[in-house]
Structure 1
Amino acid sequence: MNTTEDCDVVVVGAGPVGLMLANILGMYGHLVTVLEALDDLIDYPRGVGLDDESFRTIQTVGLADAVLPHTSPQHIMRLVNGAGKTILVNNPQTDEFGWERKHGFIQPEVDRVLYEGLSRFSGVRVLFGHRVEDVVEDADSVTAIAETVGDDGRVQRRRIRARYLVGCEGGKSPTRKRLDVTFEGESPSTRWLVVDVKNDPLGTPNVFLGADPKRPYVSIGLPHAVRRWEFMLHDHESEDQVTDPEFVNALLTEHVPDPSSLDFIRRRVFTHHGRVASHFRKGRQIIAGDAAHLMPVWLGQGWNSGMRDATNLGWKLATVLAGQADDALLDTYTDERKDHARAMVDLSLTFGRFIKITNPLVATARDAASSVLNLFPQVKSYFADMRFKPMPRYHRGVLADPTTCESGRARPRISSRLVPVRTANSTISPVGVQFPQPRVNCRTGENVLLDDAIGNWWTVLVWGNDPTDLLPQESIDKLSALGARLVAVVPETQRQWVERTADPQVLVLGDHTGRVKKWFDDRPTPIVFLRPDRFVAGACLAQDAPATLDAILAAMHFAPRPGGTADARPEHTAAAL
């Protein structure tokens, strides 16, 4: 215990959120130690749904090709009543972020990919069998004191000192408890039995949510021939009773011809929770994933919400660690993530109440109402396209309002009386939402995803013009100190001509699909400032760009390093990995 080991960030918990955060920080060149109490990764399925936002993050850290074999894209969800009649279908067709909106996946395999991906980074290590027993924080650092069993069988203590500690150790998070923050929400008393089997005896793809008042259930086809069922339990049914093989086989008699021949992975009772911490950070300790919010399973957003946390927090930690911003930047993590986490918890709880109705009369009324609503195409598409799911929109944080250039806040609409605004197809502000990811052409490749072309740091995206022709030198110098990439997007017909005439530091992209042009055509914002997490920090007309940039830098508490240049851009990109 006399030796103290140093790193930049200690991550507690080698679950998916901790592993993704370590990948992001490793990609940016920082030293990370992950401490995990277990001796290995959890090897049984938990989460089963992976969305397009998460896949975009997986792409950013260069692991998309390794994850794809463990997924089933376009995972359709059907809500059926007790008679098996479809009430609602959820089958979104959009790919605006570069990937299918929904994937079924095998979490242990994807978690393993995230873990093995850390071997690319010499400064990242995972220490299994290390339980954090105490944490000591001072003005300059935080030290995790972990216990592990040595080769001689004796308990040893290990001290790991870092600039920051991030607790990703699940719903019972000791880190959250140390922060002494409230964990607001509810834990419905309803219990469920989850049953996972190998060699799927049905073989049908996709998801069925059974809103059967006798016993609501879920049946999910997953990759690698795994099948999951979930059954709602009645109050009088004990855990020992419902995990007994005979009881489980009786539940499955209406689902498979011969339950006794199934190859079971597990039978487990669980309770849904819907809770959100009041704050995600205090001092040098931060929480993410289930430690910060517990998500009911209905919309498959627990795993994905944790990925959003890692995506948001990762670039901010990297910025502070690199000395480019004061650590007040980390306060925007709670500002930006808490409200959306709460919205997803509330939506999941509401959806669960809709499914688990057990009163036959109420269930009949629900089914009848659903049948009527399905007669209206707009209502039907509302559910089919998953438009009921609130996409993250940040109103406070690293943002600049497109109308007023106010720093740190962004209103949902652009209200200027200028003609370009009044004649735009949409005055809904793009600031605070994620930028789409179409495919583009560039000098080094054709039909590549946008993020692979522009890299993994700040980007200034300009339609139809060279950014160096629009921005004053003072702004160019600030962007250089930030390490931002300057990008011109033009119709593919113009790309090679513009490449010959553009400033050498400008990346020229060809819009060969027309999707980028359509985005800019609909909005009066031809200059877009993209954050590393692909959210729009600012969007404006050319003449407002300097003021917008200054407002963004103020919101992130930017502190340029002396003599800072474009070398501030992180060395690695997803394409390079």
Structure 2
Amino acid sequence: MAYTDTAVQETEVLIVGAGPVGLMLANILGMYGRKVVVLEAMDQLIDYPRGVGLDDESFRTIQTVGLVDTVRPHTSPQHIMRLVNGAGKVILTNNPKTDEFGWDRKHSFIQPEVDKALYEGLARFDNVEVHFGHRVENVEEDANGVTAIALVSQDDDTLVERRFRAQYLVGCEGGKSPTRKRMGVSFEGESPSTRWLVVDVNNDPLGTPNVFLGADPKRPYVSIGLPHAVRRWEFMLLDHETEEQVTDPEFVNQMLKDHVPDPASLDYIRRRVFTHHGRIAGTFRKGHQLIAGDAAHLMPVWMGQGWNSGMRDATNLGWKLASVISGQASDSLLDTYTDERSEHAKSMIDLSMTFGSVIKLTNPAAVVARDTASSVLNLFPQVKSYFSDMRFKPMPRYTKGVLVDPSTRTAGTAKGRIISKMIPVLTANNTVSPVGVQFPQYRFNSEAGKNLLLDDVVGNWWTVIVWGNNPKDVLPEASLEKLRGLGAKLVAIVPETQREWAEKYMDEEITVLGDHTGRMKKWFDDRPTPMIFLRPDRFVAGACLNQHGPATLDAILSALKFKDGTGAPADQVPAGVRGSSY
């Protein structure tokens, strides 16, 4: 029997699911001072590994919410992946060494420990609560928000029905998401019939780091060295092999006999069968309910992008919810969440599915063709580096949303190239538009310290960056007033040789950064865009010549659904914003 608690707990955002995506979104909203309640059906966090790959974009978000020091001990950077054929010969190596976003491109990690760090990070915020053992049974939506009804088990086995009221609800409850089902949106894609056995063990009996993808036609496999001496194997199962059969210890030991000298002595964490999925929701938002992470998209494990795609969702959605709830932007801003995230999630699903089909080939002729083609392609340095540097991975590029076309200054859309007959564009080394992509994070010197990462200096909200010039000298007062309403930070980046002079010349409202490595100068030298409007999620909303700054800003405010183009009241800037110049 269920008893109803007549009290209704009020909050601003309800997050259903205390997995990594829900926890990260709660950290972002907590950082911005928003009131959040997280409801989790389970009694505690999941304590076994699931995801194993953490990329540089996700680490940048972890940096933004101030949890790098608690997460890094549970990671291994420069996680190399090698694809080997049935004879054990390496046919492809993936070892990207770029760090344009401030962190190594790939890390392995122990998900339970990182999830725990995200959960414990919420203790910093008085405005965030997490309730375990709360299973959301129903959601009532009206014009002003949602009311969630959760069932809570008591010690005497009775159930109490609790109600929570919020402006928005975000479902982060995984691939079977009840929120997505309540929204009534499609979940299109594939669920291949191929099943896999995943085996995790403690006290890694091999000790070798990194990842081996075994494209063995007899039985494709994966072997992954993880932090804290954890090792994972995955084996493709044959159609006639039942789950009961393959999880039997003797069967697992037989699977591992070619990998480990003594499988029977292993310290097993889990043995579990799973099926890869490639699915995406038709929309990520409907009214006052939204979905993120696996609730919005499922992808095979091959590229290690399931966990990271969820982090991208939280990074994109968090600042938008904060903007709407604070009154700075209208509710329609949330429609850009699907516009911006759906296409890239679909691209990652397609890539993962394709990569998986290459690994799990069992037809002898197809295997020979694959291995032969790989051997030939590896003879060409450009092709080899294409795979080694992971340039085949599609980086997020938003073409519709909170951005402005650099050629036409049209609000809400941005083409991939800058087109103009002006000399600065015609003579540029690179006319690929930086709008809609993530801005690089290099290191700088400033009054705050030496060799600092960009995000640690500029804060966690809107930023206007101007190369070699004072933003106040190239933007009129009307534009500066709008930026005050936005809560934007004004930043001048100069060569390190000019930094001390610029700090004396420019007033205290300008943050001056010295480019002591020359990497930022090279970036600006290649592009005809010395003025950058940087969103809170570090994506470029606008990029232009200085004299196009006012028009670009106005178009950004339009795309943002900014409520007062002449400058919003100070109380409409989300609380917790770090680094505002005003």
Whether 1:463 aligns to 2:467 is: yes
Matches within 5 A, 1:387-426: 387-426=391-430
Instruction: Select 1:211's aligned residue among 207, 210, 215.
Output: 215
TM-score (structure 1 length as normaliser)? 0.98
Residue 259 in structure 1 maps to residue 247 in structure 2: no
Runs of 4+, deviation exceeding 4 Å = none
Aligned partners of 1:365, 1:411: CA distance in 2, in Å? 38
State how far apart, in whole Å, the 2-side matches of 1:395 and 1:503 are: 36
Q: Which residue is equivalent to 2:442?
A: 438
Asked if 1:488 corresponds to 2:492, the answer is: yes
Alpha-carbon deviation of 1:361? 1.8
Q: Secondary structure at the match of 1:214?
A: coil
Q: Which runs of 5+ in 2 are unaligned?
A: none
Question: Is the contact between residue 482 and residue 568 of structure 2 (CA under 8 Å) also seen in structure 1?
Answer: no
Matches within 5 A, 1:2-17: 2-17=6-21
Residue in 2 aligned with 1:554? 558
Work out whether 1:477 is the aligned partner of 2:477. Answer: no
Would you say 1:571 and 2:576 are equivalent positions? yes
1:109 aligns with 2:113: yes
C-alpha distance in structure 2 between counterparts of 1:174 and 1:484, whole Å: 38
2:317 pairs with 313, 320, 326, which one?
Answer: 313
Shift of 1:359: 1.0
SS class of match (1:103) = strand
1:574 and 1:467, CA in 2 relative to 1: closer, same or farther beyond 3 A? Answer: closer
Partner-residue secondary structure (3-state), 1:297: coil
**1:100 alignment partner in structure 2:** 104
Q: Work out the CA distance in 2 between the residues paired with 1:3 and 1:197.
A: 46
Whole-Å separation in 2 of the counterparts to 1:341 and 1:10:
24
Judging changes above 3 Å, is the alpha-carbon distance between structure 1 residues 258 and 404 closer, same or farther for their aligned structure 2 residues?
same
Conserved? CA contact 1:143–1:159, under 8 Å: yes
* Closer/same/farther in 2, CA of residues 563 and 228 from structure 1, 3 Å limit: closer
Question: Hey, what does 2:173 align to over in structure 1?
Answer: 169
In the alignment, structure 1 residue 343 sits paired with structure 2 residue 347: yes
> What is the Cα-based RMSD across aligned positions, in Å?
1.2
Aligned partner of 1:369: which letter?
A
Q: Does the CA-based 8 Å contact 2:468-2:492 persist in structure 1?
A: yes
The alpha-carbon deviation at position 504 of structure 1 amounts to 2.1
Once the two structures are superposed, what CA deviation does each residue of 1:409-441 show, in whole Å capped at 9, x if it has no partner? 000000111000000010000000000000011
- Over the matched positions of the two proteins, sequence identity in percent amounts to 73
Question: 1:397–1:555: 8 Å Cα contact kept in structure 2?
Answer: yes
Among residues 136, 157, 178, which one is paired with 2:161 in the alignment? 157
Match of 1:186 in 2: 190
| 1:311 partner amino acid | T
- Conserved in 1, the CA contact under 8 Å of 2:328 and 2:572? no
> Against the structure 1 CA distance between its residues 429 and 142, is the aligned structure 2 distance closer, same or farther, given a 3 Å change threshold?
same
Whether the 8 Å CA contact 2:197–2:234 is kept in 1: the answer is yes
Equivalent pairs, count: 575
Letter of the 1:92 counterpart: P
Superposition pairs of residues 158-307 of structure 1, within 5 angstroms? 158-307=162-311
2:81 to 63, 77, 84: 77
Q: Which moved more, 1:203-212 or 1:504-513?
A: 504-513
Shift of 1:567: 8.3
Q: Is the 8 A contact 1:31 1:124 kept in 2?
A: yes
Map of 2:49 onto structure 1: 45
> Which residue of structure 2 lines up, in the alignment, with residue 65 of structure 1?
69
Are 2:148 and 1:125 aligned? no
CA distance in 1, matches of 2:547, 2:495: 23
Aligned match of 1:88: 92
Structure-2 separation of matches of 1:569 and 1:211: 50
Partner Cα separation in structure 2 for residue 194 and residue 288 of structure 1: 25
The CA deviation at 1:152 is 3.9
2:423 counterpart letter in structure 1:
V
CA distance in 2 between partners of 1:122 and 1:442 (Å): 32
Structure 2 length as normaliser, TM-score? 0.98
Equivalent residues of 2:32, 2:574 under 8 A apart: no
Instruction: State the distance in 2 between where 1:564 and 1:406 align.
Output: 26
Deviation at 1:149? 1.4
Q: CA deviation at 1:2?
A: 1.2
Q: 1:505 aligned to 2:475? A: no
8 Å Cα contact 1:20-1:114 kept in structure 2: yes
Change (3 A) 1:392 1:308: same
Partner amino acid for 1:571? G
For the residues of structure 2 that align with 1:76 and 1:482, how far apart are their CA atoms?
42
SS at match of 1:2: strand
- AA matched with 1:423: T
Which of 356, 359, 366 is equivalent to 2:363?
A: 359
Q: State the partner residue of 2:144.
A: 140
For residues 69 and 148 of structure 2, what CA distance do their matches in structure 1 show? 35
Q: Aligned partners of 2:395 and 2:579: how far apart in 1?
A: 24
Task: Measure the CA separation in 2 of the matches of 1:322 and 1:496.
Answer: 37
CA contact (8 A) 2:461 2:536 kept: yes
Instruction: Confirm or deny: 8 A CA contact 2:327 2:572 kept in the other structure.
Output: no
CA distance in 1, matches of 2:430, 2:326: 38
